[in-house]
Structure 1
Amino acid sequence: MNNSTIGASVSMSSLQQRLDIIAENIANMDTDGYKSKEGSFEDVLTRVQQQSKDYDQPGRSMPLGFNIGFGVRVPKVTSDWEQGTPKETGNPTDLALQGNGLFGVQVNGATAYTRQGNFHFTPDTANPDNMMLVDNTGNPVLNTQGKPLTVPKNVSAAIDEKGRVLTKTSESAPAKVAGTIMIVEPISKSALQAVDGNFYMLAGGVTPQQAFVQRAAGEASEVGVRSGYLERSNVDLSKEMTEALQIQRIYQLTARALSSSDQMLGLANNMRG
Structure 2
Amino acid sequence: MDKGVYIALSGGIAKGHELELIANNLANANTAGFKKDSGTFNEYLTDLRRNDSVESLPREIISSSSLNGRPSGDKSFVEMDGVYTDFRQGNIEKTGRNLDIALEGKGFFEVLTPSGVQYTRQGNFNISPQGILVTTNGYPVLSKANKVQGSTPIEGDLFGVIDSSGKQTPSPTRNPSPEQRFIQMRNGSISITEEGIIRQGGADVGQLNIEEFHEEQWLEKSGNTYFKNVNPSNFNNEAIKTKTHQGFIESSNVNPISEMTRMIEATRAYESHLQAIKTHQEVDGKTVNDLAK
TM-score (norm 2): 0.77
Partner of 1:123, secondary structure, is: coil
2:218 is equivalent to residue 185 of structure 1: no
Aligned partners of 1:5 and 1:261 also within 8 Å: yes
Q: For residues 8 and 181 of structure 1, what CA distance do their matches in structure 2 show? A: 51
Q: Per the alignment, in what secondary structure is the counterpart of residue 40 of structure 1?
A: strand
Q: Deviations over 1:158-196 (max 9, x none)?
A: 21110111122xxxxxx3322111110011122111111
Say whether residues 1:250 and 2:269 are aligned partners: yes
Structure 1 residues 204-243: aligned runs within 5 Å: 206-207=231-232, 210-215=233-238, 220-243=239-262
1:82-121 mapped onto 2 (5 Å cutoff): 82-108=88-114, 110-121=116-127
Q: In 2, Cα distance between the equivalents of 1:39 and 1:94?
A: 31
Question: How far apart in 2 are the matches of 1:5 and 1:197?
Answer: 35
What secondary structure is seen at the aligned counterpart in 1 of 2:271? helix
Letter in 2 for 1:163: G
Is contact 1:49-1:66 (8 Å) kept? no
Structure 2 stretches of 5 or more lacking a match? 51-67, 146-177
Distance 1:40 1:150, change over 3 A: closer
Match of 1:166 in 2: 199
Q: Distance in 1 between matches of 2:11 and 2:273?
A: 7
What whole-Å deviation, never above 9, does each CA across 1:1-56 have from its counterpart, x for those lacking one?
A: 32211101111111100000000000000000000101133213344979xxxxxx
- Contact (CA 8 Å) 2:109, 2:209: kept in 1 or not? yes
Q: Which amino acid aligns with 1:4?
A: G
Distance 2:214 2:116 in 1: 20
Q: CA deviation at 1:65?
A: 3.0
Matched, 1:19 2:25: no
Does the 8 Å contact 1:3/1:70 carry over to 2? no
Render the CA deviation track for 1:95-146: whole Å, top value 9, x for unaligned: 000000100111115111100000122232xxxxxx2101112111011233
Matches within 5 A, 1:133-144: 133-144=133-144
Comparing 36-45 with 77-86, greater Cα deviation is found at: 36-45
CA RMSD, 1 decimal: 2.2
Which residue is equivalent to 2:280? 261
Unaligned runs of 5+ in 1: 51-61, 125-130, 169-174
Which of 122, 125, 128 is 1:122 aligned to?
A: 128
User: Within 1, Cα distance between the matches of 2:199 and 2:70?
Assistant: 75
CA contact (8 A) 1:140 1:149 kept: yes
Q: Distance in 2 between matches of 1:231 and 1:47?
A: 50
**Whole-Å separation in 2 of the counterparts to 1:12 and 1:3:** 14
8 Å contact from structure 2 (residues 103, 244) kept in 1: yes
Q: Is the 8 A contact 2:41 2:78 kept in 1?
A: yes
Give the TM-score normalised by the residue count of structure 1: 0.82
Distance 1:183 1:64, change over 3 A: closer
Q: 1:198 aligns with which of 225, 233, 239?
A: 225
Q: Which residue of structure 2 aligns with residue 43 of structure 1?
A: 43
Per-residue displacement from partner, 1:69-96 (whole Å, max 9, x unpaired)?
A: 3431221111111101111111111100
Q: Check whether the contact 2:100–2:124 (CA below 8 A) recurs between aligned residues.
A: yes
Q: Do the aligned residues in 2 keep the contact of 1:43 with 1:69 (CA within 8 Å)? A: no
CA distance in 2, matches of 1:109, 1:251: 36
Report SS of the residue matched to 1:87: strand
How far did 1:236 drift?
Answer: 0.7
Structure 1 distance, partners of 2:6, 2:139, is 46
Cα distance between partner residues in 2 of 1:159 and 1:49: 67
Q: Distance in 2 between matches of 1:272 and 1:44?
A: 33
Percent identity among equivalent residues?
28
